[in-house]
Each structure stands twice: as C-alpha cells, then as structure tokens.
Amino acid sequence: MRFKEDFLWGGATAANQCEGAYNEDGKGLSVQDCMPKGPRGPVTEGPTEDNLKLIAIDFYHRYEEDIKLFAEMGFKVFRLSIAWTRIYPNGIEEEPNEAGLEFYDKVFDTCLKYNIEPLVTLSHYETPLYLAKKYDGWRSRDLIGYFEKYCRTVFNRYKNKVKYWLTFNEINAVLISPLLGASVLTPKTELTKQDIYQAAHHELVASALAVKLGHEIMPNAKIGCMVVASPVYPMTTNPEDVMSAYEKQRELMFFTDVHVNGEYPHYTKKLFKDYNVKLDIREEDREILKHTVDFVAFSYYNSKCAAADESKYDYVSGNVFRGLKNEHLEFTQWGNQIDPIGLRVILNHFYDRYKMPLFVVENGLGANDELVTDENGNKTVYDDYRIKYLNDHIVQVGKAIEDGVEVMGYTSWGCIDLVSAASAEIKKRYGYIYVDRNQDGTGSLERYKKKSFYWYKEVIATNGESLEY
Ligand code: BG6
C-alpha cells in the first residue's frame, strides 16, 4: 500500500473562481471583481459584465449540492478559500460582516456532515480592492495588520471546524505577477526588484504571523505555506546551464526556505546584492518569521528548463513561471508542458531539503470539454485525456511515497469546473463535474458528472490501488 490509510484525497477551489455572488450579503469588492481578463488584462475601475467571476459557478448558492457530489466521490478533504471581502468588505472595518461568517459556517458544517475536512486558504489572490487601491496592495506594511485582524477573526470563529489551513496561495507568484500575487496595482514594468521583494517580505511576515496566531488560537491546527512548485532542469549538461538552473531553483525555494527555517536564507545576501535590493526588515519581523509552518503545500503543473544563455532557445508558458521548451514533453491545449515525473522530482527535492510533511494541493489539466449524451440519456463528458493526466501524476506521488517522502494528501485543482485564474475563462475546465456555463456567460449552471468523476471515486475507494502504473 503506497498511500497511507489516512491519506487526504480531495479537490481544490478558490472563492473568487467559484463562489460568484460578488456583491451579496455585504461582501465588498476584491481585486478579482475587477479583473475580467485575468491579471494580464486591464484592471477595471469597478465590476464589469464581462467578468465571469461575478457569478462564476454560483457555488455561493449551490455549495450543498457541490459538496454532496464531492462526498459521493469519497473526498476526505476539500480545499477552498475564504473571501476576505466577505468577512471584512474593505479590509479596514472594525467589526466583521456576520453574514459572511455565517456563509462559511454553513459550508464547513456541510463538509463535516460528510466527514470531509476543510482545508482553508486564507488568501487566494483575492485582497480587498480598497486595500489594493489605497496602499498599492502588499507593497505597504499596513496590510500586515489588516490581514492579522482578518486571520484572528476567522481562526476564532472556525477553530472547532477547520484543522488544516494555508496562508497565501502560491506566495512565490508575486515574483512573476505582483498584481495576482500581492494585489499591487502599479504595472510590473514600473516596479523594481526592490518593490517586489519588499511586497514579498510583507506577505512573508503576514504569513508567519498567521501561523503564530493560528497556533495560539488552535493548538491542534496544522498550518502550511503554499507555493508554485516546479523542478528546474538544466537545458544541457554544460555546467554553466546546470548552475543557472540551480540558481533559478533556489529563487523558487526562497519562499519555502523562509517558512520552514524561520529566517532569510544565506544565499539572499548575494541575491539581493545582485538585484540591488535593500529590504526594510525590522527586528520584530525577524521575531515573527521564527513561527514556522507545520507542512509545505504546493501546486504543481509543470517543470521548467533553464540555461545560462536563454536567447538560444524558445520559451514556453508555464502555469505561472515560464521556462525554456523541453523537447521531451507534450503540451496541454493551453500550452503547458506535461511532466508527471517532475512531480516526483519536486516531492523528493522538497523532502530532502525540509524533512517535513508535504501536501500536493493543486494539480490538474485545463482542457476544452464536450458535453454529450450517453446511452442512458444522461449528459456527461468523456474526458479520458484528463483521467490519463491525473493518473500519471498521482502515480508519481505514489512513487515518491515509495521513495520515502511523507505526503499528507492530494487535492486536484478545480474539482468542479470554475473560472480560470490566469485568463478568467470558463472554457478551460479542470473538473470532475461539468458546470453548464459558457464563455459568453450563458448556461443553466447545472452540474453533470464527467467520466473522470467515476474514475476518481474508484481511486479514492481503493486508496490508489486502481491507478495504472
Ligand atoms: C494556480 C492557481 O496557479 O493555478 C489557481 O492557484 C489557478 O487559482 C490554477 O486556477 C490553474 O490556473 P488557470 O490559470 O488555468 O486557472
């Protein structure tokens, strides 16, 4: 048996990509309500009709039906995020919004009714718009205090319902997209490395503060950090390329290094010198950073290749970080390279470095699905391509466990179709459950089980024994 009996099988979502109800029951606007095209498109002054996230898949009104479907698949865990703006609409209020708190009470109660553990992300790219506008997001130290207040509120409220927490989703994404990763509204082209690493520092302190608070309020809670993970391969065996790949890998590991070791790693001295970065790190920040995480969680969608002279090669887009094209790998319809073995590589890499429980909290295939009618007259999707992708990746998790890596669980991304983060599209589907909503916003919002729904149900029921190795 590769997967332990208590392995946490499940799926993952984020509030802004599935809840909708963007202005109901006192919710304030988040940055996502003004990103109709995703972080690469223009940020609008206010919500616009072309923003699919305003309704998304209407999880806000359909959570009972959706969680029941997750339970039918046998989920042990459901990863979701709390929309900060449901709790503190602008981030600055003295008192929280009771209606927002009640919504998550109902969601968690529904999970627990089905013996599903909620795994809650505190901040999944959905900072209050007010804070983004007033402070240019996490560039300001003031956000730490507002975030602390929000964390204190939700920890106190849900301490008897939620045991597993994540602080910031993909905290290292700030390096690539300061808008997505840190709600910085100033265009990236106008930001220096100094600006970006200072915003990252504020988030790192806020993350450690959340860990500190969480442990004080909920002594039995498990609180993890969450990063985009990607092994970085050298393009050739030329030692120059190997060194370059090593350095790029380290830049990605910087965030987990701080979270696990409780201090800035030795190599940042040179890195920051090279980048001309002089951070405002206060003595109290250093004390807070010492509050380290209980586990390391990450998303995995693709590996990366790097070279000393990258101008000789073609780039390919990654889920967040781009890299050089790897001739050995196939592509998804959205141009991501598919590398299941990379997941085993990065699991081993993390475990060698940290000896700490790991949690794969995102992985999955975004694809165009075709809804068809089966021989019994039921609507479904024959998504064998998704089954193959997931099978191949979970198999590598199994192999990493055989290697000796401690893996707590696996939550595939977008277990129900939702709006994508990078491009705000609904046609890029990840789910086991099809949601009838089209790119133009039309659709009944009805849910239909895909072929992968039954496949994953079997994987969970057999604790991974049904996987094809
Ligand atoms: C991760 C994010 O980067 O990738 C998710 O944490 C996101 O929010 C997922 O949805 C898949 O990316 P995309 O752009 O296809 O939605």
Give the Å distance between the CA of 265 and the centre of ligand 1: 28
* CA 169 to ligand 1: nearest atom: 6
Q: Which residue, by CA, sits nearest to atom 14 of ligand 1?
A: 422
- Catalytic residue chosen out of the listed positions 362, 370, 402, 458: 362
CA distances from 33 to 23, 37, 54, 223, 252 (A): 9, 10, 6, 28, 29
pLDDT, tens digit, for every residue of 374-398?
A: 999 999 999 999 999 999 999 999 9
Q: Which of 362, 386, 419, 423 to mutate to test the pocket of ligand 1 (most atoms within 8 A of CB)?
A: 362
What percentage of the chain exceeds 90 in pLDDT? 98
Q: Which of 124, 317, 319, 425 to mutate to test the pocket of ligand 1 (most atoms within 8 A of CB)?
A: 319
Give the Å distance between the CA of 374 and the centre of ligand 1: 30
pLDDT at 321: 86
Residue 327 burial class via C-beta count within 10 angstroms: exposed 0-12, middle 13-18, buried 19 and up: exposed
How many CB atoms are closer than 10 A to CB 331? Answer: 13
Q: Which of 227, 334, 413 to mutate to test the pocket of ligand 1 (most atoms within 8 A of CB)?
A: 413
* CA 334 to ligand 1: nearest atom: 15
pLDDT at 1: 65
- Could you tell me the sign of the dihedral formed by the alpha carbons of 153, 155, 159, 161, in that order? positive
Give the Å distance between the CA of 323 and the centre of ligand 1: 17
Q: Which of 19, 179, 252, 299 to mutate to test the pocket of ligand 1 (most atoms within 8 A of CB)?
A: 299
Give the Å distance between the CA of 91 and the centre of ligand 1: 24
Q: Which residue, by CA, sits nearest to atom 8 of ligand 1?
A: 421
Give the separation between CA 303 and CA 421, rounded to whole angstroms: 19
Give the separation between CA 274 and CA 271, rounded to whole angstroms: 5
Give the Å distance between the CA of 56 and the centre of ligand 1: 14
362 is catalytic: yes
How many CB atoms are closer than 10 A to CB 40? Answer: 12
User: Which residues lie below 8 Å from residue 203, measured CB to CB, with a gap of 6+?
Assistant: 138, 168, 171, 174, 181, 182
Q: Which residue, by CA, sits nearest to atom 2 of ligand 1?
A: 421
* CA 425 to ligand 1: nearest atom: 16
Helices 98-113 and 59-73 meet at what angle, rounded to 10? 20
Which residues are near ligand 1 (CB < 6 Å)?
A: 14, 17, 169-170, 299, 319-320, 362, 366, 413, 420-422, 428
203 is catalytic: no
* CA 125 to ligand 1: nearest atom: 8
Question: Is 137:131 a contact under the CB 8 Å cutoff?
Answer: yes
pTM of the full structure: 0.98
Q: Which residue, by CA, sits nearest to atom 12 of ligand 1?
A: 421
Give the Å distance between the CA of 403 and the centre of ligand 1: 28
Give the Å distance between the CA of 414 and the centre of ligand 1: 8
Residue 107 burial class via C-beta count within 10 angstroms: exposed 0-12, middle 13-18, buried 19 and up: buried
pLDDT at 318: 85
pLDDT, tens digit, for every residue of 74-127?
A: 999 999 999 999 999 999 999 999 999 999 999 999 999 999 999 999 999 999
Give the separation between CA 466 and CA 221, rounded to whole angstroms: 32
- Catalytic residue chosen out of the listed positions 19, 117, 126, 170: 170
Q: pLDDT tens digits, the chain, 469 residues: what are they?
A: 689 999 999 999 999 999 999 999 999 999 999 999 999 888 999 999 999 999 999 999 999 999 999 999 999 999 999 999 999 999 999 999 999 999 999 999 999 999 999 999 999 999 999 999 999 999 999 999 999 999 999 999 999 999 999 999 999 999 999 999 999 999 999 999 999 999 999 999 999 999 999 999 999 999 999 999 999 999 999 999 999 999 999 999 999 999 999 999 999 999 999 999 999 999 999 999 999 999 999 999 999 999 999 999 999 988 888 899 999 999 999 999 999 999 999 999 999 999 999 999 999 999 999 999 999 999 999 999 999 999 999 999 999 999 999 999 999 999 999 999 999 999 999 999 999 999 999 999 999 999 999 999 999 999 999 999 9
Question: Is 120:166 a contact under the CB 8 Å cutoff?
Answer: yes
Q: Which residue, by CA, sits nearest to atom 16 of ligand 1?
A: 420
Give the Å distance between the CA of 362 and the centre of ligand 1: 8
Question: Is 1:67 a contact under the CB 8 Å cutoff?
Answer: no
- Please state the separation of Cα 392 from the chain's center in Å: 21
* CA 423 to ligand 1: nearest atom: 14
